[in-house]
């Protein structure tokens, strides 16, 4: 079996997305597409890019605030760079799940214990789920006729996505209610981890002690968020709400750049469904699946000739840009770690 490198996974994720978008454009291209391309308002595209950048800064702010409530002071720029680094990992892992370990690792490098860092990252996902559910319910109530426009296939997709997200939200709730049982369940995986670690020369006794301590830290951090650190959860929830508004505005601003109405409420609901679908671990970075669900949903509100160009512009800002930003963050982390060890980067060695 061929072992895939990181570059290979990035290429595979990119190809999944590019091929699907190419098919969408090929099947929807007409005279209306040409007219829209010639009339694109670049200022709106720059505004959409600004919305995306604001969303990423808010994500970093959320990490900073939640870490602060657990007693750690992590700089805002450090948190934003952590987010950017996790974007690259997200593009090469199913359901973008690879971003979480990166954020945990970077918080650990900043002095946050592994257990507390894991608690912060898990609670991020919980807040995302809560806010997305609330926003979805509000929009459904505000636009009661929205469901009537969905076909059976879309309704099934929406239901499956929401069931998946709610199931994920139940994990930390169960862990908080039954910490001992949850810990025993986690500890069952330790022998397998230790077996892998022994090949790297890691002491089983030391590793077992460390894992046991960090699991306790994790549950302690989760409990703090429901107790003494509750204000951090509230602040994190508020930032999460603004984050998703900024993130969802990207699509509406792109629509305006194409000379269309922003369809804010409808577009927000579509974005909620897409965001949940992207959490399902099916393909690297959810590429391909995201483009198909996006084109299917937005085909309900925008002309067919503009679907392909809309999906391309939206994915450029919300997906392809992740690769560039993640690579930039990786360079920053590399230079920082080299400086911490006293080893100058290659450019400085040559100088």
Residue 62, SS3 per DSSP = helix
Looking at the chain, the number of H-run helices and the number of E-run strands are: 16, 0
Q: Which structural domain range is residue 145 located in? A: 6-350
Q: pLDDT band for position 328 (50/70/90)?
A: confident
Mean residue pLDDT across the chain: 79
Six token digits for residue 203:
């002491």
For residue 112, pLDDT over 70 is answered with yes
Question: 94 has which bridge partners?
Answer: 284
- 246 assigned to some structural domain: yes
Taking alpha carbons only, the member of 227, 188, 230, 179 closest to residue 211 is: 188
Whether this model's pTM surpasses 0.85 = no
Residue identified by tokens 């997709």 is: 157
- 1 assigned to some structural domain: no
How far apart are the C-alpha atoms of 101 and 287, rounded to whole Å?
Answer: 20
Six token digits for residue 4:
């895939």
For residue 209, pLDDT over 60 is answered with no
- pLDDT for 88 equals 82
Q: pLDDT band for position 2 (50/70/90)?
A: very low
- 20 assigned to some structural domain: yes
pLDDT, tens only, 29-68: 888 888 888 889 999 999 999 999 999 999 999 999 989 8
For residue 170, pLDDT over 60 is answered with yes
CB 73 within 8 A of CB 318: no
Q: Is 114 left (phi over 0), alpha (psi -120 to 50) or beta?
A: alpha
Backbone CA torsion sign across 17, 19, 22, 23: negative
Six token digits for residue 152:
């059976």
How far apart are the C-alpha atoms of 73 and 65, rounded to whole Å?
Answer: 9
CB 289 within 8 A of CB 282: yes
- 178 assigned to some structural domain: yes
Structural domains counted in the chain: 1
Q: How far are the Cα atoms of 49, 64, 84, 85, 97 from residue 327, in angstroms, in the given order?
A: 18, 22, 8, 7, 18
Residue 7, SS3 per DSSP = helix
- 42 assigned to some structural domain: yes
- pLDDT for 279 equals 74
């Amino acid at each position: 079996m061929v072992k895939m490198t990181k570059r290979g996974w990035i290429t595979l994720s990119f190809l999944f997305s590019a091929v699907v978008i190419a098919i969408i454009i090929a099947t929807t291209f007409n005279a209306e597409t040409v007219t829209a391309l010639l009339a694109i308002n670049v200022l709106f595209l720059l505004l959409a890019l600004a919305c995306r950048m604001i969303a990423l800064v808010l994500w970093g702010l959320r990490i900073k605030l939640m870490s602060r409530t657990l007693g750690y002071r992590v700089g805002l720029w450090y948190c934003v760079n952590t987010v950017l680094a996790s974007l690259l990992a997200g593009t090469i892992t199913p359901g973008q799940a690879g971003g979480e370990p990166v954020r945990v690792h970077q918080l650990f490098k900043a002095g946050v214990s592994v257990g507390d860092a894991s608690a912060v990252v898990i609670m991020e996902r919980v807040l995302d789920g809560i806010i997305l559910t609330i926003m979805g319910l509000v929009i459904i109530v505000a636009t009661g006729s929205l469901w009537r426009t969905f076909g059976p296939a879309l309704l099934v997709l929406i239901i499956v996505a929401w069931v998946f997200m709610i199931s994920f939200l139940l994990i930390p709730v169960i862990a908080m209610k039954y910490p001992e049982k949850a810990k025993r369940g986690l500890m069952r995986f330790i022998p397998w981890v230790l077996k892998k670690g022994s090949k790297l020369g890691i002491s089983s006794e030391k590793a077992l002690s460390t894992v046991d301590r960090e699991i306790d830290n994790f549950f302690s951090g989760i409990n703090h968020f429901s107790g003494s650190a509750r204000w951090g959860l509230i602040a994190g929830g508020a930032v999460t709400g603004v984050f998703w508004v900024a993130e969802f505005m990207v699509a509406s601003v792109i629509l305006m750049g194409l000379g269309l109405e922003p369809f804010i409420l409808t577009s927000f609901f579509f974005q909620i469904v897409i965001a949940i679908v992207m959490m399902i671990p099916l393909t690297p970075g959810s590429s391909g699946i995201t483009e198909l669900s996006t084109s299917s949903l937005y085909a309900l509100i925008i002309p067919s000739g503009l679907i392909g160009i809309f999906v391309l512009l939206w994915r450029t800002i919300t997906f392809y840009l992740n690769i560039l930003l993640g690579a930039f963050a990786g360079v920053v982390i590399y230079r920082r770690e080299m400086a911490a060890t006293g080893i100058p980067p290659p450019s400085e060695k040559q100088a």
